[in-house]
């Protein structure tokens, strides 16, 4: 199995690139943001909790998030791998994910961190808001999501970087160029031993 994490601040194109990657490599796409939106739509107990955090741009507590993910992550036979989109976002989630993967006799092979300037990110969020009306894309909330990302998720990047499983990709270039860069990294990691990293 080849398991991947895709993280990045809001507006960085995480969802789009995750879909492109899962399509290309036949991975199962697990997006905690999508799961929460579905729970909210279906008015489940998890949805009720998520509704208290998502509209304010805050993270849903780790316990709720991990429990939800754990329930969704049934690993069928003959699967090529999993792609976690928007998870982990805290160090605690990263540690729990490692435990969960070990428990299932597998591991996270690669973490891709998408990056772009704040100006670009706010611009993309503004465009998405006008197309899709996601309530948490409102300007003030989007700013808060960005702050939360810097406060909480930088520790996740440091954690994976220290283990040689983290690669940063700028999402400023046209989508197909960004994807090509991601593919190059994936191919490299698919063929390498677990401990060393590449630069660029």
What does the binding site for ligand ADP look like in residue numbers (CB under 6 A)? 10, 14, 32-33, 36, 53-54, 57-60, 65, 86-87, 89, 93, 136, 145
Distance CA 64, CA 102 (A): 21
Distance CA 134, CA 130 (A): 9
Q: How far is the CB of 58 from ligand ADP (least distance, A)?
A: 6
Q: Which is nearer to ligand ADP, 89 or 165 (CB)?
A: 89
Q: Which is nearer to ligand ADP, 41 or 193 (CB)?
A: 41
Q: Which is nearer to ligand ADP, 129 or 167 (CB)?
A: 129
Are 197 and 109 a contacting pair, CB within 8 Å? no
Any bridge partners for residue 115, and if so which? 170
Are 57 and 141 a contacting pair, CB within 8 Å? yes
- DSSP state, 30? E
Residue nearest to ligand ADP (CB): 33
Q: How far is the CB of 72 from ligand ADP (least distance, A)?
A: 12
Q: How far is the CB of 198 from ligand ADP (least distance, A)?
A: 26
Q: How far is the CB of 33 from ligand ADP (least distance, A)?
A: 2
Distance CA 32, CA 82 (A): 13
Distance CA 136, CA 57 (A): 6
Sheet containing strand 28-31, edge to edge, reads 28-31, 82-85, 4-7, 110-115, 166-170
Q: Which is nearer to ligand ADP, 170 or 192 (CB)?
A: 170
For the record, the structure tokens of 84 come out as: 């976690």
Q: How far is the CB of 83 from ligand ADP (least distance, A)?
A: 13
Q: Which is nearer to ligand ADP, 87 or 166 (CB)?
A: 87
């Amino acid at each position: 199995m080849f398991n991947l994490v895709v993280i990045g601040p809001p507006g960085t194109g995480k969802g789009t690139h995750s879909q492109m990657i899962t399509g290309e490599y036949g991975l199962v796409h697990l997006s905690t943001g999508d799961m929460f939106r579905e729970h909210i739509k279906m008015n489940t107990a998890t949805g009720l909790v998520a509704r208290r955090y998502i509209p304010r741009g805050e993270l849903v507590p780790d316990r709720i998030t991990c429990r939800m993910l754990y329930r969704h992550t049934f690993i069928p036979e003959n699967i090529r791998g999993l792609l976690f989109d928007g998870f982990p976002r805290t160090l605690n989630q990263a540690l729990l994910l490692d435990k969960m993967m070990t428990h299932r006799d597998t591991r996270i092979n690669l973490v891709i961190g998408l990056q772009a300037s704040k100006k670009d990110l706010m611009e993309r969020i503004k465009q998405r808001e006008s197309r899709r009306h996601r309530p948490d894309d409102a300007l003030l909330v989007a700013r808060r999501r960005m702050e939360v990302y810097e406060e909480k998720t930088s520790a996740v990047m440091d954690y994976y970087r220290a283990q040689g499983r983290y690669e940063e990709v700028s999402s400023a270039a046209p989508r197909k160029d960004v994807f090509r860069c991601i593919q190059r990294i994936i191919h490299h990691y698919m063929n390498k031993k677990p401990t060393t990293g590449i630069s660029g």
